[in-house]
């Protein structure tokens, strides 16, 4: 890695710190509808399905844009692409305050959603500053920018109260903060060493189509489906949980936002730990733990609240079986923690398997993961309207993580048997004829 020969530790730390802070602000903007969307829902009289679509629409833009932004970051440098992206998004957030109808809000949400594309840019940019053995940790630290979801669910209600309950004021505050962040990022961050080396040597960047060539591998799509759960599921719950706490437990918006932050925080800050563990014990082991523990947690979170009536000596006895709030909060913390580890582990794979196409592959994986954050809140709202079971959202997540676990295990087994053909046959079991030969009764 000749491009890293003259890179100092201070330069790496500056690039990582600036990118992580910028991504944190972008992620906070990306999830702003989780709080102001509740005000808009009441203002417009929206159903849960309409609310689900509203909070999910920014996720759609942020997801679909990731593959293009990741490739452009590889081609033109992450510093320039990220700065322009943040400035455009800040303008879209400010224009959100002019919306007055549901359709206008959806259009405005599409522009606001560009904030989510900053992840693909940052992955491409940060990975170029570090050698392979440190990329897992570095990308894990960068991914801690997901804490922006907790910043919004905790901070936006406070801003809302300070602004007299005016959601438009919250949007304007976010727009100003994002614009200032864009300017500071451009001044502090430097062009990555790979981009500088290519410019110095006059090397032309690969064509857009050639950058997409790794996407023909099924392995890329498998990584993407992992991310559909660990990231898409994380975003979906960060958006949906305030509504869930209000509807299922009857909590206030401020309390619901605080408890959502309790879930979102470990889902972000431990991503660095996930990257470090992926460097030390392997990303594959981290993914097994992520899917296994998440499956157990989601199984219990899926238990519906049910009213029962049974005959007693003195007449019918009514009682309710539901998961206590304290237990529910504890399980969401566990789930967020495991998702945090899993997000880092997924992205540990990419620069190792596809070092020359981090932007394209990382963008595709991020896009599919982000689409999970788009489709799942809509599905949560539809299921809630149709069957009226609040925990149906966790039932859907249980199915998704189970499919992921099975697919991963089967793929790993097939890969190992391809590399070691001797494993294909039976192991440690005698042949049928040997059983007959050694058994005096021929059984």
Mean pLDDT of the chain: 83
- Does residue 1 fall inside a structural domain? no
- Does residue 4 fall inside a structural domain? no
Provide the domain count of the chain: 1
Percent of the chain surpassing pLDDT 90 = 31
The pLDDT value recorded for residue 208 is: 60
pLDDT bin (cut points 50, 70, 90) of residue 211 is low
- Does residue 440 fall inside a structural domain? no
- Does residue 119 fall inside a structural domain? yes
- Does residue 441 fall inside a structural domain? no
- Does residue 438 fall inside a structural domain? no
Domain range for 33: 10-195+207-310+317-420
Measured distance between the N- and C-terminal CA atoms of the chain, rounded to whole angstroms: 63
**219 torsion bin: left (phi>0), alpha (psi -120 to 50), beta (else):** alpha
pLDDT bin (cut points 50, 70, 90) of residue 432 is very low
- Structure confidence by residue, pLDDT tens digits, 259-317: 988 998 887 788 888 888 988 888 889 999 999 999 999 999 988 765 444 444 444 44
Query: How far is residue 308 from each of residues 14, 302, 363, 370, measured CA to CA in Å?
Result: 59, 18, 49, 39
The pLDDT value recorded for residue 350 is: 81
Gap between the Cα atoms of 96 and 227, Å rounded: 29
Rounded mean pLDDT, 161-185: 93
Q: Which helix (H) or strand (E) holds 82?
A: helix 78-95
Give me the sign of the Cα torsion angle 184, 132, 232, 247. negative
**98-112, 226-240, 358-372, range with the lowest pLDDT:** 358-372
Q: How many CB atoms lie within 10 A of CB 183?
A: 12
- Structure confidence by residue, pLDDT tens digits, 103-122: 999 999 999 999 988 988 99
Q: Which CATH number is 388's domain given?
A: 1.20.1250.20
The pLDDT value recorded for residue 65 is: 87
Gap between the Cα atoms of 370 and 260, Å rounded: 19
Burial class (CB in 10 A: 0-12, 13-18, 19+), 395: middle
Rg for the chain, CA atoms, rounded: 24
Q: How many CB atoms lie within 10 A of CB 101?
A: 9
pLDDT bin (cut points 50, 70, 90) of residue 431 is very low
The pLDDT value recorded for residue 301 is: 92
The pLDDT value recorded for residue 441 is: 39
- Does residue 292 fall inside a structural domain? yes
- Does residue 234 fall inside a structural domain? yes
Task: Say if residues 238 and 149 touch (Cβ distance below 8 Å).
Answer: yes
Among 262-266, 319-323, 359-363, name the most confident range: 262-266
Gap between the Cα atoms of 181 and 178, Å rounded: 5
Rounded mean pLDDT, 342-354: 83
Task: Say if residues 229 and 404 touch (Cβ distance below 8 Å).
Answer: yes
- Structure confidence by residue, pLDDT tens digits, 132-143: 778 878 888 898
């Amino acid at each position: 890695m000749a491009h890293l020969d003259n890179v100092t530790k201070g330069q790496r730390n500056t690039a990582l710190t600036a990118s992580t802070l910028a991504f944190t602000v972008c992620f906070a903007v990306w999830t702003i509808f989780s709080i102001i969307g509740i005000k808009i829902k009441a203002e417009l009289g929206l159903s849960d399905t309409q609310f689900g679509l509203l909070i999910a629409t920014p996720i759609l833009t942020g997801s679909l844009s990731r593959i293009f932004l990741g490739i452009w970051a590889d081609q033109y440098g992450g510093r320039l692409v990220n700065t322009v992206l943040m400035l455009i998004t800040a303008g879209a957030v400010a224009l959100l305050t002019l919306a007055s109808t549901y359709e206008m809000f959806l259009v405005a949400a599409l522009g606001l959603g560009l904030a989510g594309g900053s992840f693909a840019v940052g992955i491409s940019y940060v990975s170029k500053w570090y050698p392979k053995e440190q990329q897992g940790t570095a990308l894990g630290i960068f991914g801690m920018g997901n804490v922006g979801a907790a910043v919004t669910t905790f901070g936006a209600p406070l801003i809302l109260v300070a602004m007299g309950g005016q959601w438009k004021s919250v949007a304007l505050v976010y727009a100003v903060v994002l614009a200032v962040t864009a300017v500071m990022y451009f001044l502090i961050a430097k062009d990555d060493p790979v981009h500088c080396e290519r410019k110095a040597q006059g090397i032309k960047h690969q064509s857009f189509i050639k950058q997409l060539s790794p996407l023909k591998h099924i392995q890329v799509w498998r990584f993407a489906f992992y991310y559909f759960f660990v990231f898409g599921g994380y975003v979906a719950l960060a958006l949906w949980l305030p509504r869930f706490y209000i509807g299922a437990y009857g909590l206030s918006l401020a309390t619901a936002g605080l408890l959502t932050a309790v879930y979102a925080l470990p889902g972000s800050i431990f991503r660095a730990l996930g990257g470090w563990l992926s460097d030390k014990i392997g990303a594959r082991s981290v993914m097994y733990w992520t899917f296994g523990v998440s499956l157990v947690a989601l199984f219990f979170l899926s238990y519906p609240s049910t009213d029962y009536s049974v005959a007693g000596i003195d007449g019918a006895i009514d009682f309710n079986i539901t998961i206590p709030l304290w237990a529910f909060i504890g399980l969401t913390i566990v789930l967020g923690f495991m998702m945090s580890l899993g997000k880092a582990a997924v992205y540990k794979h990419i620069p190792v398997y596809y070092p020359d196409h981090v932007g394209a592959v990382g963008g595709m994986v991020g896009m599919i993961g982000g689409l999970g954050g788009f489709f799942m809140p809509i599905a949560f709202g539809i299921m809630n309207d149709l069957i009226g079971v609040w925990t149906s959202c966790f039932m859907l997540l249980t199915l998704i993580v189970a499919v992921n676990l099975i697919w991963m295990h089967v793929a790993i087994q097939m890969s190992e048997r391809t590399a070691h053909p001797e494993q294909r046959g039976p192991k440690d079991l005698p042949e049928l004829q040997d059983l007959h030969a050694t058994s005096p009764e021929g059984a």
